[in-house]
Chains A and B, each alone.
Chain A
Amino acid sequence: MSITREDVVHVARLARLELSEDEIEQFAVQLSDIIDHAARIQALDTEGVEPTAHPLPLSNILRDDEPGSTLDREVFLSQAPACEDGYVKVPRILDDSAGGPGGGT
């Protein structure tokens, strides 16, 4: 099996997913199957082949820097899980010892 239980736990942490024990077991098996299948492309010779990130030959789309209208702040806030005083309210990001905005002084 190419993907271990430890790999799943590590990747879940990177992806900000809190997986249950059952999910960890299941994903170790399923992701191994998928990755083993996908790994067949490694047999292909791609020496000197440029990667394609995007099918269009477009780059650096520019426009004049003219102010336009924006969407209404109240409309955005109406969709936020929590807000206060015209701002989206989010959990504390810095702990007390880190100082900075929101850090206790």
Chain B
Amino acid sequence: MTSETALEIARSVRSGDRSAVDVVTEALARIEAGDRDVAAFLRTTPARSLEAARRIDSLVSGGGDPGPLAGVPVAVKDVLCTEGVETTCGSKILAGWEPPYTATAVTRLEAAGAVVVGKTNMDEFAMGSSTENSAFGPTRNPHDLERVPGGSSGGSAAAVAAGFVPVALGSDTGGSIRQPASLCGIVGMKPTYGRVSRYGLVAFASSLDQIGPMTLDVADAAAVYTAIAGHDPLDATSIPDVSPDVKGDLHDDVEGLTFGVIRELSEGDAFDPAVLEAFRRTLAAIEGAGGRVVEVSLPSAEHALSAYYLIAPAEASSNLARFDGMRYGLRIEGDSAEETNRRTREAGFGDEVKRRIMLGTYALSAGYYDAYYAKAQRVRTLVIRDFVDAYSEADVLCSPTSPTVAFGLGERLDNPLAMYQSDLCTIPTNLAGHPAISVWCGDDASGLPIGFQVLAPELEEARLFRAAAGVEALVGFKEPACPGVLPGEGA
């Protein structure tokens, strides 16, 4: 069994010590053995994956450059299009759909030598915080199978935390990379909005969605980020500047860095005592290692959640209008085009997706637009201003990633508002469009992981990774759970 990082694997494949075919075969075997319990994957693609691995191996034996992530098995959230490979977004409405093109982030990862082994489970259309909203059943947390892995990128988080693969791609609209990374004890990073192309990412809330890496450690996250970031003419919201290579900025220390603790996101009844304890212990370690810790305030943070749950559903209700039963996906015939639309959407969408479409349609409808949607957009401006003030006092900001550890399966399903609280600490960054990362910072008494969130100003990914690597050097990283491994088999 392995908890090898992506960079370790790539080093051995590039040097010819191991073949990519062996690495990929082992990953597929781990998934086969352990994923019956975890259900991180919706499907694997052994034939394609082994074919890609063989191409890497022949490049290596021919003296060519197989790329910085040569032979690294990766999992891809099922919201990213993969040409000819079923892509469902966790929804019945897209069951069986095979996209005619591949998302830029996936193409770039493959160009760097990584090998996609399968597509991971998710909350339907990325709407949720537990992966229980998938039409294909829930994913379980590898560290406790009776608990959720978080969401919406829960399948990707679980695939890494289970030790199946060292790298997965997720998408983050309000915390969907960082919150499951926190609940599963791995690293999850959301880049600055516009850094990573959204081409081929099925849209949820277009002004908030961003693709990012989910990995075992910070160095892998930086390597994957470097591979997928950069301008893409196929995405009009892609930042035109050159995206710098951030790998050289990891110094593994926090000396001279000022961490601003966001007061509004690190105290209160919403937080598990164990989460706050691990967070404060980490702050003490930072100070002990020569970092500075100051308190900062984001006064509008308490309204960010409300603004988000108006803006994101409003954008979603518009984006999901494309699922009309006409050009692709499910169609349930009715007597008219409109009835076909209605029947298809009623049968194809799950509860949470319908709830958000309803919420968004309401917030945008005549008579309510100014009171809800337009007001929320102004609150978004206030959140951004608060961040500008906070960054005048600190290099990076920090908070717990999630107010709680992984909760039980089914625990929050009947209470949408309680579920939405899971995103309390992650949402403000999405509204501002800034980068942020979650790294493991300890466990509670039952061994459930706790995440430490670091935030940086826009385009300051290098600073973000440096601070996160510094924290990781103080705390270490959590070993994967490796379900499906017989006792004595582990290395």
- Residues of chain A having any CB pair with chain B under 8 Å: 3, 7-8, 11-12, 14-20, 23, 27, 30-31, 33-35, 37-42, 44, 46, 49-56, 58, 61, 63, 71-72, 75-76, 78-82, 88, 90-93
In the complex, given contacts A16-B321, A75-B100, A79-B327, what are 15 additional A-B residue pairs having Cβ atoms less than 8 angstroms apart? A7-B362, A11-B365, A15-B358, A23-B354, A27-B358, A31-B358, A34-B420, A39-B306, A39-B371, A41-B307, A42-B375, A49-B381, A54-B237, A56-B194, A88-B326
Contacts of B358 in A (CB 8 A): 8, 11-12, 15, 17, 27, 31
A-B pair number, CB within 8 angstroms? 165
Determine which of B337, B346, B431 lies in contact with A93 in the assembled complex, contact meaning CB atoms within 8 Å.
Answer: B337
Distance, CA A61 to CA B97, complexed state (A): 31
**Nearest CB of chain B from residue A77's CB, rounded to whole Å:** 9
Distance, CA A83 to CA B234, complexed state (A): 28
Judged by a CB distance under 8 angstroms, whether B25 is at the interface is no
Count of B interface residues, CB-CB < 8 Å:
68
Judged by a CB distance under 8 angstroms, whether B64 is at the interface is no
- Residues of chain B having any CB pair with chain A under 8 Å: 97-98, 100-101, 193-194, 207, 233, 236-237, 239-240, 300, 303, 306-307, 309-310, 317, 321, 324-331, 333-334, 336-343, 345-346, 349, 354-355, 357-359, 361-362, 365, 371-372, 374-382, 384, 416-417, 420, 431-433, 458
Distance, CA A12 to CA B346, complexed state (A): 10
Contacts of A82 in B (CB 8 A): 331
Inter-subunit contact A37/B417 (CB<8 Å): yes
Distance, CA A17 to CA B300, complexed state (A): 34
Inter-subunit contact A19/B346 (CB<8 Å): yes
Inter-subunit contact B354/A19 (CB<8 Å): yes
Inter-subunit contact A44/B337 (CB<8 Å): no
* Consensus secondary structure, chain A interface: loop
Distance, CA A29 to CA B345, complexed state (A): 21
**A42, A52, A53: which has the most chain B beta carbons within 10 Å?**
A52
Distance, CA A101 to CA B442, complexed state (A): 66
Distance, CA A16 to CA B239, complexed state (A): 35
